[in-house]
């Protein structure tokens, strides 16, 4: 009988962590989730699988906590998804973002190196690293030009992952994931903000939706599809870096059109531009080239953009109706 594989996920309470935990459980893994201490419980995204996973406390800001956690849980794979992940917040909290999203990766990598350097490691890198893009579409070889403290922190996290691979011969891979969304997306990110806003307006709870730059373009996919690519990377004999994207880009304006249109509303009557949501430096256009992921991992996105938008609007409508 093959022994059960054990995986540790940091950021298990987040959007991706919850989908990855579900996916790994379905593959027969024992799943351990690292959670940070909090005065209130925030397990909404994982409460449906809570009896199937083990939750242990640790924090990206505290290396000893991660060393102890690894010693106790002895995973064969670590997925480092935890981060201060909201770009806008990174201008207000640049040092904290660096401590978590950049140095946090070194702490986790070092904990792995100390406890068991044979553990396979996945780092949640980001298309934000491409920022003011120097090539369209963006691929693994495209130079980085980050545009926010978050993007800068992710570039550090990416390179330290590459460096531990080259310095210590560790199996560390970096997934350069483009934006991926779902009904579990945090409410501050633009897609969920829009779908939640649409549902609230449709149900008569709000009259307008205040947004920033409607012309920004993103390569949006479904989070449930993207976590599979993370796992596929760690099943390869050799660690490597991969762009994970759909290869198509859409504007925030078009997202609004589709989301409002899905419930029979015209977005231009409800969306109000608000300077507060403009960024000091914007990432205007992201579109990834997932050729390598398809060729080497056999990964491809399964959920079309229109389906993603309607899935999110329907989920927000259902959620709000339950609360009414
Ligand atoms: P998310 O929903 O914001 O989740 C972030 C997770 O990190 C939460 O579980 C959070 O815990 C945890 N966390 C934050 N600071 C921590 C700390 N100091 N110690 C331990 N845990 C901490 O993010 P996501 O959308 O799932 O994204 C997952 C990862 O992929 C992130 O690293 C993100 O930067 C990266 N990424 C995301 C996308 C995307 O489009 N979603 C694209 C590229 C890369 P709490 O619940 O306690 O706050
Ligand atoms: N959040 C937000 N709120 N964004 C807005 C708004 C608004 O009211 N109005 C316009 N936007 C624009 C932003 O200026 C940005 O260009 C775009 O919508 C997407 O913003 P977010 O949804 O906040 O995501 P992001 O692209 O900045 O970052 C996400 O994707 C990255 C991968 O490229 C996050 O998930 C990051 O963690 C991830 O690395």
240-245 mean pLDDT: 99
Question: If you classify domain 186-219+248-285+303-323 with CATH, what class do you get?
Answer: alpha beta
Q: How far apart are CA 11 and CA 15, in angstroms?
A: 8
What's the pLDDT band for 15 if we cut at 50, 70, 90? very high
Tens of pLDDT, residue by residue over 60-117, are: 999 999 999 999 999 999 999 999 999 999 999 999 999 999 999 999 999 999 999 9
The answer to whether residues 207 and 272 touch, using CB atoms and an 8 Å cutoff, is no
Residues near 101 by beta carbon (within 8 Å), at least 6 away in sequence: 83, 84, 85, 90, 150, 153, 154, 157
Tens of pLDDT, residue by residue over 137-169, are: 999 999 999 999 999 999 999 999 999 999 999
287 pLDDT more than 90: yes
CB-ligand 1 contact for 73 (6 Å cutoff): no
- Judged by its nearest atom, the ligand closest to the C-alpha of residue 187 is 2
Q: How far apart are CA 153 and CA 309, in angstroms?
A: 29
Question: What distance in angstroms lies between residue 286's CA and the mean position of ligand 2's atoms?
Answer: 11
Mutate to test the pocket of ligand 2, among 83, 92, 153, 189 (most ligand atoms within 8 A of CB): 189
Task: Please identify, by atom number, the ligand 1 atom nearest to the C-alpha of residue 38.
Answer: 47
Share of the chain above pLDDT 90, in %: 99
Return the pLDDT at 3.
Answer: 72
Global pTM reads 0.98
Share of the chain above pLDDT 70, in %: 99
2 pLDDT more than 90: no
Domain ranges in the chain are 6-180+220-244, 186-219+248-285+303-323
The answer to whether residues 285 and 295 touch, using CB atoms and an 8 Å cutoff, is no
Residues near 278 by beta carbon (within 8 Å), at least 6 away in sequence: 212, 213
274-287 mean pLDDT: 98
Mean pLDDT (the chain, rounded): 98
Task: Please identify, by atom number, the ligand 1 atom nearest to the C-alpha of residue 127.
Answer: 43
CB-ligand 1 contact for 61 (6 Å cutoff): yes
Q: How far is CA 221 from the centre of its chain?
A: 11
187-199 mean pLDDT: 99
> Mind telling me the catalytic residues?
126, 128, 150
- The CATH architecture of the domain made up of 6-180+220-244 is 3-Layer(aba) Sandwich (3.40)
Return the pLDDT at 1.
Answer: 61
CB-ligand 1 contact for 16 (6 Å cutoff): yes
Report the SS3 class of residue 30: strand
CB-ligand 2 contact for 277 (6 Å cutoff): yes
Beta bridge partners of 10: 34, 80
Mutate to test the pocket of ligand 1, among 8, 10, 11, 129 (most ligand atoms within 8 A of CB): 11
CB-ligand 2 contact for 188 (6 Å cutoff): yes
122 pLDDT more than 90: yes
Return the pLDDT at 4.
Answer: 87
172-190 mean pLDDT: 98
Q: How far apart are CA 9 and CA 77, in angstroms?
A: 9
Q: How far apart are CA 180 and CA 8, in angstroms?
A: 21
- Smallest CA separation from ligand 2 atom 13, residue: 213
41 pLDDT more than 70: yes
225-233 mean pLDDT: 99
- Judged by its nearest atom, the ligand closest to the C-alpha of residue 45 is 1
Q: What is the DSSP letter of 173?
A: E
């Amino acid at each position: 009988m093959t022994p059960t594989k054990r995986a540790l996920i940091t950021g298990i309470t987040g959007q991706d962590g919850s989908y990855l935990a579900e996916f790994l459980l379905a593959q027969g893994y024992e799943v351990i989730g690292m959670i940070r201490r909090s005065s209130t419980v925030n397990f909404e995204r994982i409460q449906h699988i809570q009896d199937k996973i083990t939750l242990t406390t640790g924090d990206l800001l505290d290396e000893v906590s991660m060393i102890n956690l690894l010693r106790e849980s002895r995973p064969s794979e670590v997925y480092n998804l935890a981060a201060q992940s909201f770009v806008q917040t990174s201008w207000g909290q640049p040092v904290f973002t660096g401590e978590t999203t950049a140095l946090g990766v070194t702490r986790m990598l070092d904990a792995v190196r100390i406890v068991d350097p044979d553990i396979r490691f996945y780092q949640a890198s980001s298309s934000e690293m491409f920022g003011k893009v120097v090539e369209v579409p963006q691929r693994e070889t495209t130079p980085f030009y980050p545009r926010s403290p978050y993007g800068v922190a992710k570039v550090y996290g990416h390179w330290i992952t590459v460096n531990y691979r080259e310095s210590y011969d560790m199996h560390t891979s970096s997934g350069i994931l483009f934006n991926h969304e779902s009904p579990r997306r945090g409410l501050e990110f633009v897609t969920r903000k829009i779908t939640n806003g649409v549902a609230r307006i449709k149900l008569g709870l709000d009259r307008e939706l205040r947004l920033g730059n409607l012309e920004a373009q993103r390569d949006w996919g479904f989070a449930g599809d993207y976590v599979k690519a993370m796992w596929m990377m760690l099943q390869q004999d050799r660690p490597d870096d991969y762009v994970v994207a759909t290869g198509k880009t859409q504007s925030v304006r078009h997202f609004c059109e589709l989301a409002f249109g899905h419930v029979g509303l015209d977005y231009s009557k409800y969306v109000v531009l608000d300077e507060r949501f403009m960024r000091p430096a914007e990432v205007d256009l992201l579109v990834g080239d997932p050729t390598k992921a398809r060729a080497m991992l056999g990964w491809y996105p399964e959920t079309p953009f229109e389906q993603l938008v309607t899935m999110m609007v329907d989920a927000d409508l259902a959620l709000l109706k339950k609360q009414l």
